[in-house]
Chain A
């Protein structure tokens, strides 16, 4: 399955790059998280927690000198294939700096930003592309859900994690479980309103979610979180609103409105600890009003997506350790 995902992703690369990546050892293919193409730099991948350079014949090296050099032409050709030769059709996505491809994977774009009177008009002279391979890990939240429920009530939850520790993957699986329901926890499933600003959670491609986000989930794709929350409140009457990477003051205002409307929340945020997040001024409201009842903290200590702690917001007791009797 992992190879199928990998093969689907490299279909979007120019011939030389595709050829080189197709020869990678299977272990790297299965664990690959990123493929990076930078102009006049060697082809690199991020797999198993670190980056490597890939040679023309698929060899994996630490030394950049051994990597396949990527030139402007290769980046340009890859970009054309990514856009299906139709940059005009993806102009809005390109403006945001990424494109979502089939399978729900995201490709970040670096280059020269062109502004017009209304803001960013486009990106030209593309100089780097970053394929972020979205891994769907079904079942990773099965053991987490019980900590997020009180009876049949869902408790507002904030997932705190440094980058690349699997917070989006965990959020997606929690959404799937909350949406589908879990007999073992005696709930049928909640109506979820997912605001997927960066098309990472549902991976919507041509209007169709590429990831399993459950049967009771409505998605607002590529929608700014703050306005998305308001749309969901007014139009979709969700039980729970799910958002990725909150932090802006507009997001907090929208969350305030959602909680006032009695809607539950699950969100993620970049951070290393509750204290780290609490120090941010824009988030004062969330902590002063004790909006989130559960904090899930992730790290990389035992591999990507290690759940370090699940904290109760009142007692700050780690619920996992408490259950284990530590």
Chain B
């Protein structure tokens, strides 16, 4: 009987702790996703400004070089460009919205900055593209800083909260 009770209490404690870690981990994942996105856009800027590669080729190159966090983002855009042919690149970017929210755990404000890239990319000459990239990279840089602050504050809190709730439930149940 005692063994069963101990097992149950252990399960409750582990579950609460894991939930705390899971929620805390979301903040880390957002930071990592934003950093990957920032890095990939920087590479895209090089492809466009320095090499002047056509966008489908530039995105293919980025997809092959970027981290696993955002690999699928560029794969989706590339597929859309190949099959959609609507003449509006923004549509291709829009298809990544759910993935960025649910898998990369980005906030709507992060997603909006990325989607704004879809509105302007490829539509002007190199000089103007450079300005747009500068603006978007700057915006993402600021979001990364905000995300880091949130992560430092909340990640520890959720993790501690998970452990404390677990312990609290054990105390109550004992």
Contact B87 A86 (CB under 8 A): no
**What's the minimum C-beta distance from B34 to chain A, rounded to whole angstroms?**
25
Residues of A in contact with B, size category? 10 to 19
Contact B122 A87 (CB under 8 A): yes
Report the Cα distance A121→B48, complex, angstroms: 18
B55 partner residues in chain A, CB cutoff 8 A: 84-86, 89
**What's the minimum C-beta distance from B65 to chain A, rounded to whole angstroms?**
19
B85 partner residues in chain A, CB cutoff 8 A: 11, 15, 81
Report the Cα distance A81→B82, complex, angstroms: 11
**CB-nearest residue of chain B relative to A15?**
B86
Binds B, one of A72-80, A222-230, A273-281, A303-311: A72-80
Taking chain A's interface residues, is the majority helix, strand, or loop, or is none over half, making it mixed?
helix
Report the Cα distance A14→B52, complex, angstroms: 24
Report the Cα distance A88→B124, complex, angstroms: 6
Binary contact track A50-88/B, C-beta < 8 Å → 1, others 0: 000000000000000000000000001110110111111
Contact B123 A80 (CB under 8 A): yes
A122 at the interface (CB under 8 A from B): yes
Pick from B49, B58, B122, B129: contact of A80, CB under 8 Å: B122
- List which B97-148 residues lie within 8 A (CB) of chain A: 121-126, 129
A88 partner residues in chain B, CB cutoff 8 A: 48-49, 52, 122, 124-126, 129
Contact B125 A14 (CB under 8 A): no
Report the Cα distance A85→B129, complex, angstroms: 13
A91 at the interface (CB under 8 A from B): yes
A11, A78, A85, A87 — most chain B CB neighbours (10 Å): A85
Work out how many contacts link A and B, with CB atoms closer than 8 A.
57
B9 at the interface (CB under 8 A from A): no
Pick from A15, A80, A87: contact of B125, CB under 8 Å: A87
- List which B16-68 residues lie within 8 A (CB) of chain A: 48-49, 52-56, 58
Binary contact track A86-124/B, C-beta < 8 Å → 1, others 0: 111101000000000000000000000000000001100
Contact B122 A86 (CB under 8 A): yes
**What's the minimum C-beta distance from B120 to chain A, rounded to whole angstroms?**
11
**What's the minimum C-beta distance from A72 to chain B, rounded to whole angstroms?**
12
**What's the minimum C-beta distance from B83 to chain A, rounded to whole angstroms?**
13
**What's the minimum C-beta distance from B21 to chain A, rounded to whole angstroms?**
42
Contact B56 A87 (CB under 8 A): no
B88 at the interface (CB under 8 A from A): yes
A14, A15, A83, A86 — most chain B CB neighbours (10 Å): A86
Contact A76 B87 (CB under 8 A): yes
Q: A77-B88, A86-B48, A87-B123 are known contacts; what are 14 more A-B pairs with Cβ within 8 Å?
A: A11-B85, A77-B86, A78-B87, A81-B85, A84-B56, A85-B56, A85-B81, A86-B53, A86-B55, A86-B122, A87-B124, A88-B52, A88-B122, A89-B55
Q: Which A residues form the contact surface with B (CB < 8 A)?
A: 11, 14-15, 76-78, 80-81, 83-89, 91, 121-122
Which 6 pairs of residues, A with B, have the shortest CB-CB distance? A77-B87, A86-B54, A85-B122, A85-B55, A86-B55, A88-B126
